[in-house]
């Protein structure tokens, strides 16, 4: 006899697939060395650039970026935040501009709290595409997060003494990229909307097919049982 219990499998499978599909759009932190305390900063003036190297642990379009940026006076700097490629061995320095995540935004527009000068807890977070371009990262690929400012007085980027990753600076105008020793890494956190590997989709398709086969077999078995019962009667 066909019973409502046979309906549980497709409904349960559907719920599982919906939950899994929802997880595919989840934000994943692919790099983080944010400064949570202390007063270690690297300052720069004018249109010079500071850069922090990073290698994301997962692929996907950038969803948000958090930076330990502050200002060293009451003058409000205007920031640009960019993603650059890495030029590879042996120098490992920023090579080519890939995307401008923030284009010419004052710090006051990015920071929503009440900032204190030289305070490492002053972090700005912005969603990718809100102030500039979006960009998709590839896992295990070296990139550079570059911050520059075209106006305002001295700026400061918090240093995480517990993290170690190459940093670089660029003196403008007419300068070149060079390695910078800061005793740590510039504080940043980058999240992406993770893109599953092809094998994940294959596993999901296999699970769906298996569930449908089991459901069909149970349905046919219930139909045969019903026919036998009606014949016996």
**Cα separation, 186 vs 163, whole angstroms:** 9
Residues lower than pLDDT 50 in the chain: 1-3, 6, 116, 118, 120
pLDDT tens profile 109-127 = 776 555 545 454 567 788 8
- pLDDT of 211: 62
CATH architecture label of 27-193 = Sandwich (2.60)
State pLDDT tens for residues 19-56: 555 555 578 999 998 876 655 778 777 678 899 999 99
Domain borders along the chain are 4-21+197-232, 27-193
pLDDT of the residue at 138: 95
Q: What's the pLDDT at 16?
A: 53
């Amino acid at each position: 006899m066909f019973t409502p219990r046979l309906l549980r499998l497709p409904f349960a499978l559907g719920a599982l697939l919906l939950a899994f599909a929802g997880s595919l759009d989840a934000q994943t932190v692919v790099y983080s060395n944010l400064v949570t305390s202390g007063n270690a900063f690297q300052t720069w003036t004018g249109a010079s650039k500071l850069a922090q190297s990073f290698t994301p642990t997962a692929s996907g379009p950038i969803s948000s970026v958090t930076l330990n940026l502050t200002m060293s006076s009451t003058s409000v700097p205007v920031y640009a935040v960019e993603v650059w490629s890495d030029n590879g061995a042996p120098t490992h320095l920023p090579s080519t501009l890939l995307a401008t995540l923030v284009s010419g935004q004052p710090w006051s527009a990015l920071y929503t709290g009440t900032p204190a000068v030289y305070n490492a807890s002053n972090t700005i977070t912005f969603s990718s595409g809100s102030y500039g371009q979006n960009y998709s990262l590839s896992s295990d690929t070296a990139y550079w997060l570059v911050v520059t400012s075209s106006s305002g007085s001295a700026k400061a980027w918090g240093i995480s003494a517990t993290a170690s990753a190459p940093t670089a600076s660029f003196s403008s105008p007419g300068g070149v990229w060079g390695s910078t020793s800061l005793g740590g890494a510039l504080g940043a956190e980058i999240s992406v909307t993770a893109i599953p590997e092809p094998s994940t989709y294959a596993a999901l398709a296999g699970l769906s097919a298996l569930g449908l086969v089991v459901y069909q077999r149970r349905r046919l078995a219930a139909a045969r049982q019903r026919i036998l019962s009606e014949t016996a009667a």
